[in-house]
Structure 1
Amino acid sequence: MPRVIFYTATTVNGFLADENDSLDWLFAAPGGEGGDDDFQRFLSGIGVLVQGSSTYRWVLEHEDLVAHPEKWPAYYGDRPTWVFTSREQPVVPGVDIRFASGDVREFWPQIEESTGGRDVWIVGGGDLAGQFADAGLLDEIRVSIAPATLPSGKPLLPRSLGADRLQLIDVRQAGAFAELTYAVSGPPS
């Protein structure tokens, strides 16, 4: 059974994106563009991506992917991508993007089937990762803490998950980032 992993970056004060859903703060941090050996190993075990509409739209617009779909593989390879959204979204030509609206539990069998036996990466955002946690489907949180703060923005994980559900399993330094990995246990009681 594939693991579901929320792997993301956050500011020191717990924001994934600024109030305009921008990740510019991340790419301004040294090493924020990602791609170190550990990330490449992680990515090699991923069969499918899941992301919310704000994350999808930001990457689409930031990289002008509708006009330049050849850039998509640099981000995600040829893996299927599920986008949870409540509104119509542009499509990147030639990319396997599957749109979903509603409860993550409803789409889980299809997502699981599309993994090719590998893991699921929740790319963003925090609320979507929280929906997977609420459904008892989130197995791991890997968060890279960037050397940055924001005065406001989108929170890392807008849910209450305590020590009864989170177990620290790894800590490492990745350049200017600190990476924490937590195992997430079962559904909330």
Structure 2
Amino acid sequence: MSNKRNLVLYIATSLDGYIATQDDSLEWLFKIAGEGDNGYSEFYDTVDTILIGRRTYDWIVEKEKGNFPYKNKKCYVFSKSKIGKDESVEYINQDVVEFTNKIKRMDGGKIWLVGGGNLLHSFIKERLVDEFIITIAPTLIGDGIPLFKKNDFELELKLKSMRKFNQFVELHYEVK
């Protein structure tokens, strides 16, 4: 029997709690001075599986002009309309809890929940996220896609670590 793999939400947010503007822009994030890659490579090396919502996947493909950045990882895209595989990802149209618990039982490294907002909410609500690594950018964007939606549940976390990358602060929590 294999050990249970951790599912990690590794994400950046504005100080006022938004992960993107209403039009899905992240330009506000790239205007801020970080330090190196702000710990991204260190985290990325621990991951072998990536979960992405369809809207976020489409945004990544568009922004990267077809050069998918996660080619060396097993990538699953949750989609209500697309099924099958392409050269980079496998499309998933099944129960989120059942599918996620299945891959958490497989051997491997960490599972990275990339986004977007609706997918994040369903994973948090179903208590599928084991760790939260949230990098806070020193900017207020006023409106957009919130990191956390209004919910009807509580989730207790324990702070594992804090790091500073120039103007960014990374908070690493595990679920109690």
For the aligned pair, the TM-score class normalised by the smaller chain equals 0.7 to 0.9
Structure having the higher helix fraction is: 1
Is the 2:11–2:134 Cα contact (8 Å) retained in structure 1? yes
Q: Does 1:94 align with 2:87?
A: yes
How many Å apart are 1:88 and its aligned residue? 3.6
1:37-81 CA distance string (max 9 Å, x none): x3222111101001112211111111111xxxxx32xx3241011
TM-score (norm 2): 0.84
CA RMSD in angstroms comes to 2.4
Runs of 4+ in 1 over 6 A off after TM superposition: none
- Secondary structure at the aligned position of 2:142 is classed as coil
Is the 2:7–2:104 Cα contact (8 Å) retained in structure 1? no
Inter-partner Cα distance in structure 2 for 1:98 and 1:177: 33
Q: Does 1:103 align with 2:105?
A: no
After superposition, where does 1:29-178 map in structure 2 within 5 Å? 29-31=32-34, 35-36=37-38, 38-65=39-66, 71-72=67-68, 75-88=69-82, 94-95=87-88, 97-112=89-104, 116-160=107-151, 162=154, 165-178=156-169
Is the 1:22–1:58 Cα contact (8 Å) retained in structure 2? no
Structure 1 unmatched ranges of 5 or more = 66-70
Residue of 12, 16, 20 corresponding to 2:19: 16
How many Å apart are 1:158 and its aligned residue? 1.4
- Secondary structure at the aligned position of 2:99 is classed as helix
1:87-139 CA distance string (max 9 Å, x none): 349x8x632x01113431121255336x6511100111233222222222210
TM-score (norm 1): 0.79
Cα pair distance change 1:178/1:154, threshold 3 Å: same
Count of aligned positions: 171
Structure having the higher strand fraction is: 2
